[in-house]
Structure 1
């Protein structure tokens, strides 16, 4: 019986029984007994890393938890290396990891034996969008310029911080398809994180990079070495991204939603899940979080563990069809 169920049952029992149940409910309450390992399954600089470090900082600064959240980067395989490590730590209530569409896409593409069903959903936190970046001095003035060049020279490439068949790849493939190109022919170059993809872009190794708008927001603006060609949001975003046109404004009817959330180890105890659900829900109400969220261009999209789990199942069904259409579905 979960903590929530116990409390609900107590409301309908005779008052004489409440004293006994009170002690039982308190016994089921859980708090961390050591610091929490909070894993970003990629190198520093990408969307998972940004989420982990931002939430950890806000939780600490707002005094929401007695134990600290230690950000740990475990790169490789578009997330698969970290997932394999976490899967071996079943039941550990002191280990969390940031998640987003690759937890669905990478297994569907056949490059991870673990998928979302192997882990414990904790909470969905935010929605972000994709953004296409070029060097500030690039000859491409808009998305149509870029895709005209890609069509004329299939050897030109677009980089991203996720594995083939994963989030950034799907995002640029869908965009290219909507722009009239054969999505399967887009020369996508995967990097181990958004930071490495940006370095490659500035080194002239790729024509453009597709990444999360939130992680790019702090690198744009006056004097930046980067310039944004478009964002996958249905309408213009605020803050430092206010001047970035949407794909639709450029005649390309396509949007792409990058949700991000938190998951835990397999078979995490229900009382630990309840603790983290409550913690992240309270975090979203703080001034510190709201300031960071707005600065990064994120939108709150909270779901508790149960709703998040249902959402992940629906995402798996949706992305299975998308990958199949692109010929990227694994065996």
Structure 2
């Protein structure tokens, strides 16, 4: 009996020690890195986290948002892996575009296995927009003009050739029988710049993410011709038609989330996992997510890691079909 009690007591101590291993305090300083200039999807993702953490009192001091443009995520990825791999308080925003670039080897010597994938907090959808006073009233109007004269339409987007914005435009071109490599495509750094260029009448259409366009919809400045979702989105966006209903077989969801440096401890990584699981269930977070035009998509830890690696493999096969990856 005494032996059994000793074993039970020892097991209880081990369990208590294990629980205490994860029971660590919040980081004293927190930072979200947006791998682009202010404006656009990465900035939106960081601001969503910044406001939500503060509103729910998950941290004691406001989170800092910093901008690290370059290579549509490559500079930030390399900095975290090589220079800042163990920072408990630092998270970096990523999107489906980041994963597409990883699939093509655009992040230099580092690959999908070199960071800790932390949490997905929403999904966006690809979309194409023109100025509100554009002669193109529908996606068919735009694509007919493009098909008639590919040089007549200049597409702008927040990333280079091979990026998800380019890929979405290339898929549209392929739908109407135009060689994607012959379309006029202007690459900007970040999602905010092409919208500015469109409003300045320097380009005819923006191929981007719907959330980047939502702030402009109520001001009668932009007309979204199509969203790349399976079906129309709810609420204020219900009036935006899908590409599919207009005869174009294009669906493109865009995951938004965060990763951390590879040398962050398991206890610190678990703190963030637990925090995100609680955060996404709060009404404050849901309100902030909705304000930014994102839709529910919550994954953390190993589940996100598996999803990310599956997506990278799928994107690599797609890139190969355009001659952009080996």
TM-score between both structures, scaled by the size of structure 1: 0.90
Q: CA deviation at 1:245?
A: 0.4
Alignment length (residue pairs) = 317
Confirm or deny that 1:139 pairs with 2:135.
yes
Q: 1:262 aligns with which of 255, 258, 261?
A: 258
Q: Is the 1:229–1:245 contact (alpha carbons within 8 Å) kept by the matching residues of 2?
A: yes
Gapped runs of 5+ residues in structure 1?
A: 1-12
**Aligned ranges 1:294-305 → 2 under 5 Å:** 294-305=290-301
Q: Equivalences for 1:49-88 in 2 at 5 Å?
A: 49-88=43-82
Q: What does 1:192-203 align with in structure 2 at a 5 Å threshold?
A: 192-203=189-200
Alpha-carbon distance change, 30 to 162 in structure 1, aligned in 2, over 3 angstroms: farther
2:77 and 2:10 map into 1 onto residues whose CA distance is 48
Query: Residue 278 of structure 1 aligns with which residue?
Result: 274
Q: Which residue of 1 aligns with 2:204?
A: 207
Contiguous gaps of at least 5 residues in structure 2: 1-6
- Report what 1:306 is aligned to: 302
Q: Which residue of 1 aligns with 2:96?
A: 101
Write the distance in 2 (CA, Å) between the matches of 1:178 and 1:305: 37
Deviations 1:162-209 (A, max 9, x none): 232112111221233234433333322211111111111111121100
Q: Secondary structure at the match of 1:254?
A: coil
Is the CA contact 1:220–1:240 (under 8 Å) kept in the aligned structure 2? no
Q: Post-superposition shift, 1:292?
A: 2.0
Q: Secondary structure at the match of 1:72?
A: strand
Matches within 5 A, 1:107-122: 107-113=102-108, 114-122=110-118
In 1, Cα distance between the equivalents of 2:155 and 2:135?
Answer: 15
Asked if 1:25 is matched to 2:58, the reply is no
Separation in structure 2 between the aligned mates of residue 327 and residue 27 of structure 1, nearest angstrom: 48
CA distance in 1, matches of 2:24, 2:183: 49
Contact 1:217 1:240 in 2 (8 A): no
Maintained 8 Å contact 2:276/2:300: no
Match of 2:123, SS state, is strand
Q: Distance in 1 between matches of 2:121 and 2:271?
A: 15
Aligned residue among 231, 235, 242 for 1:235: 231
Kept after mapping to 1: 8 A contact 2:44/2:292: no
Q: Hey, what does 1:185 align to over in structure 2?
A: 182
**What's the offset of the Cα at 1:295?**
2.7
**Equivalent residues of 2:121, 2:297 under 8 A apart:** yes
Q: Does 1:92 align with 2:94?
A: no
For residue 157 of structure 2, the aligned residue among 157, 160, 163 is 160
Q: Counterparts of 2:227 and 2:142 in 1: how far apart (Å)?
A: 14
Q: Output the TM-score relative to the length of structure 2.
A: 0.91
